[in-house]
Amino acid sequence: MWRRRGAITLFVGPFMALFLAVIVTPLAYAVYLSLFSEKSSGLGFGGAETVFVGIANYVDTLKDQAFTDGFLIILGYCVLYIPLMIGGALGLALLLDSGLAWLKRFFQLALFMPHIVPGVIAGLIWLYLYLPGISPIVDFLGGADFLTGGNALGAVVNIALWEWVGYNMIIYFAALQAIPAEVLEAARMDGAGRIRTAFSVKLPLIRGAVVTTVLFTIIGSLQLFTEPIVLDNSSDGIVSTWTPNMYAYNEAFGNNDYGQAGAASIILAALAAVLSYVVTKWGNRR
């Protein structure tokens, strides 16, 4: 018994230590910061002091229109991005699995390669491709501007699709490869064609993989930061508080208000936890 417990501790211990160091501790510190605020003493000549304000930072954050408007951006991003990403990744995975695509290994690697590129580098690459007067694509399209007004959201969605479609395609392709051959053979013997087999047999059997990617995509959408922050200075449609994550960053490093930034971060983390639970329960029920 003691030997078994020691083995479990040996394998689980490093994970728990890392989990406490990089997840639990930062969250606890963010909660601590969110309960305090810097207040000027006297007429402002006595410097500032840290005072306990309780949930005041949370109330101020939720009342701030810049913060709440960020969720509208996230909602629009999800409406555009999630169907395109899931549909595109599933379509590519089914095409590779069907045997219609030649050189499967080559296409898997080629489609996965954009995910290897760091988000900042991907943002810079596409910023070059979006800028009028510099981009050969914009010049070819007659000077279309992808970074003004409502076009900015589509520009960010396009970058995210370029980065993540290939990654999710690999997940779906691996799940498709795990389907027992006898199940597919039975479908063929029943007269199901390629399209019927794909929609009636393959897709239901990889539902778990689809739910998992939807869950991670929703969480990732809430954390949207890298791509818009790179495009910020060049886009008229993106501001420093465009998403909730950018709002927290701006409060911390733009306004030096770490209490407000901590409150925004905890609200965002709580919302991500709730959405994770809802999507997981929905996936299990389905």
Strands in 17-147 per DSSP E: 36-40, 48-52
Q: How far apart are CA 244 and CA 264, in angstroms?
A: 7
Would the pLDDT of 35 be above 60? yes
Where in the chain are the domains?
A: 62-285
User: Among 38-42, 65-69, 125-129, 200-204, where is mean pLDDT lowest?
Assistant: 38-42
pLDDT at 42: 55
In sequence order, which residues have a C-beta less than 8 Å from that of residue 279 and are 6 or more positions away? 211, 214, 215, 218
Query: Tens digits of per-residue pLDDT, 145-186?
Result: 788 777 889 899 999 999 999 999 999 999 998 988 888 888
Q: What is the mean pLDDT of the chain?
A: 86
Would the pLDDT of 196 be above 90? no
Burial of 220 (0-12, 13-18, 19+ CB in 10 A): middle
User: Among 47-51, 133-137, 202-206, where is mean pLDDT lowest?
Assistant: 47-51
> Are residues 193 and 61 in contact, defined by beta-carbon separation less than 8 angstroms?
no
- The helix/strand/coil state of 55 is coil
In sequence order, which residues have a C-beta less than 8 Å from that of residue 85 and are 6 or more positions away? 160, 161, 164, 165, 168, 217
When pLDDT is averaged across residues 264-275 and rounded to a whole number, the result is 91
pLDDT at 47: 62
Query: Tens digits of per-residue pLDDT, 86-113?
Result: 999 999 999 888 776 667 778 878 888 8
Would the pLDDT of 286 be above 70? no
pLDDT at 132: 79
pLDDT at 5: 74
Tokens encoding 94: 């089914």
* CA nearest to 242, candidates 62, 68, 57, 30: 68
Torsion angle of the four alpha carbons 273, 278, 279, 281, in this order, in degrees rounded to the nearest 10: 120
- The helix/strand/coil state of 53 is coil
When pLDDT is averaged across residues 52-61 and rounded to a whole number, the result is 91
* CA nearest to 239, candidates 248, 254, 228: 228
pLDDT at 143: 67
Q: Centre a 10 Å sphere on the Cβ of residue 133 and count the other Cβ atoms it contains.
A: 7
Fold of 62-285: MetI-like fold (1.10.3720)
Q: Which residue has the tokens 């840290």?
A: 50
pLDDT at 281: 79
Residue 52's DSSP bridge partners are: 36
* CA nearest to 59, candidates 243, 247, 264: 264
Question: What pTM was computed for the model?
Answer: 0.85
Amino acid at 107: F
Tokens encoding 142: 């007659």
